[in-house]
């Protein structure tokens, strides 16, 4: 599915840019090393799931698997997971607003459900 490939490529590009931004422009701006580590975690999960989007885009266009609504849903959930999980961690790392930590698990659950859908599709 072309949209998943496009989203994966855009999100991977953004992940690289945010990783570089955190390592260079924000390096001395984090109030504690803990916030730098939070930024790194956000970038890691951002990139893992950007690659997941690319893989889902390839799998959903594969002649063997055909178009699968489950794979499409998994892709959209991964995309939303990046927004909720990594987005909340990026914001937390920069602002120090700890209440944003309540949003992060929503993104984590979206990631988990997305991977479960991939597994169900694989075994179906």
Query: pLDDT category, 122, cuts 50, 70, 90?
Result: confident
63 pLDDT higher than 60:
no
Which residues have CB under 8 Å from 78's CB, separation 6+? 49, 52, 53, 56, 110, 111, 114
For position 17, what pLDDT does the model report?
98
pLDDT above 60 (res 109) = yes
pLDDT value of residue 58: 87
CA-CA distance, 12 to 56, in Å (whole number)? 14
pLDDT band at 62 (very low <50, low <70, confident <90, very high): low
Confidence (pLDDT) at 66: 58
Closest C-alpha to 83, from 118, 117, 122, 114 = 114
Q: Report whether pLDDT(68) > 80.
A: no
Residue 6 pLDDT > 70, yes or no? yes
Q: How confident is the model at residue 105 (pLDDT cuts 50, 70, 90)?
A: very high
pTM value surpassing 0.85 = yes
pLDDT at 100: 85
Is the distance from CB of 110 to CB of 118 less than 8 angstroms? no
């Amino acid at each position: 599915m072309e949209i998943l490939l496009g989203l994966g490529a855009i999100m991977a590009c953004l992940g690289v840019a945010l990783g570089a931004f955190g390592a260079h422009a924000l390096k001395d701006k984090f109030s504690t090393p803990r916030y730098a580590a939070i930024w790194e975690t956000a970038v890691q999960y951002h990139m893992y799931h950007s690659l997941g989007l690319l893989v889902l885009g390839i799998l959903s266009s594969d002649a063997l698997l055909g178009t699968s609504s489950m794979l499409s849903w998994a892709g959209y959930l991964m995309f939303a997971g990046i927004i909720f999980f990594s987005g909340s961690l990026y914001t937390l790392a920069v602002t120090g607003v700890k209440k944003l930590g309540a949003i992060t698990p929503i993104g984590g659950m979206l990631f988990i459900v997305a991977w479960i859908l991939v597994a169900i599709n694989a075994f179906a």
